[in-house]
């Protein structure tokens, strides 16, 4: 089964309350975006958007230059349906981040729980290349991964766990670590998972 088929099956067969990563309130990401200078004119892309409520929150703040990328067409379709007419302000991109070809740059790149699935160095390099091409000079990236004491697997796949420092080293010198914070995510059934959220600034 391809990765796209796997994630399309997950989103078609499970309700949101059955998804361990589901998060009703993306306030941690929104707070970090505000610290990065989020404004009504900002351009934001959400990598691995799934059925996240991030687009909802950004639209509530008056942000209109929004893009949502995910491997699963089913997930993005569900988000479009939920947002209704408001979703017309979002550019929906069905793509694998390791093969996606960006055509523009963004002020803020957000990724909650995609990068840690990339355990193959080739996939990590492909991601970082697209990150570097997509974030404007002086722009920011928010990347959330499982922390060092977080789960070793998710949805049956192995994951790479990071500290803010090890993530910064992996991304390379073009991205300077600005700040970070720990976050204890509770799954819909109340199981805690340790995440780290890191905010980076692109230097060039």
Where would I find the beta strands (DSSP E) of 35-169?
A: 43-47, 65-70, 90-94, 106-112, 135-146, 153-154, 157-158
**Cβ atoms of 109 and 171 closer than 8 Å:** no
| Predicted confidence (pLDDT) per residue in 16-51, tens digit | 878 888 888 999 999 999 999 999 999 999 999 999
pLDDT at 140: 98
pLDDT at 6: 85
- For 79, phi then psi, to 5°, come to -65, -40
Residue 70 has pLDDT above 90, yes or no: yes
- Mean pLDDT over 112-128 rounds to 97
- Mean pLDDT over 109-119 rounds to 97
| Predicted confidence (pLDDT) per residue in 148-201, tens digit | 999 999 988 899 999 999 999 999 999 999 999 999 999 888 899 999 999 999
Q: What is the mean pLDDT of the chain?
A: 95
Residue 87 has pLDDT above 90, yes or no: yes
pLDDT at 132: 97
**Cβ atoms of 45 and 158 closer than 8 Å:** no
pTM score of the predicted model: 0.95
- Mean pLDDT over 132-141 rounds to 97
Confidence of residue 55 (pLDDT cuts 50, 70, 90): very high
Domains identified in the chain and CATH numbers: 3-202 (3.40.50.150)
pLDDT at 12: 87
pLDDT at 133: 97
Burial class (CB in 10 A: 0-12, 13-18, 19+), 95: middle
Extract the tokens encoding 36: 């990065």
Give dist(CA 134, CA 24) in Å, integer. Answer: 27
């Amino acid at each position: 089964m391809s990765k796209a088929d796997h994630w399309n099956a997950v989103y078609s067969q499970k309700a949101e309350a059955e998804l361990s990563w589901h998060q009703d309130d993306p306030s941690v990401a929104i707070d970090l975006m505000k610290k990065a200078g989020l404004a009504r004119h900002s351009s934001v892309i959400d990598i691995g958007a799934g059925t996240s409520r991030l687009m909802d929150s950004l639209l509530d703040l008056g942000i209109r230059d929004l893009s949502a990328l995910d491997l699963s067409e089913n997930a993005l379709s569900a988000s479009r349906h939920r947002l209704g007419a408001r979703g017309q302000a979002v550019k929906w991109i069905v793509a694998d981040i390791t093969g996606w070809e960006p055509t523009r740059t963004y002020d803020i790149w957000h990724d909650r729980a995609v990068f840690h699935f990339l355990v193959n160095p080739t996939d990590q390099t492909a991601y970082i290349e697209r990150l570097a091409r997509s974030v404007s000079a002086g722009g920011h990236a928010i990347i959330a991964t499982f922390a060092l004491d977080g789960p070793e697997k998710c949805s049956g796949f192995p994951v790479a766990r990071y500290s803010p420092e090890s993530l910064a080293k992996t991304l390379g010198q073009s991205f300077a670590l600005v700040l970070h914070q720990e976050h204890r995510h509770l799954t819909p059934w109340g199981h805690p998972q340790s995440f780290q959220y890191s905010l980076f600034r692109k230097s060039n």
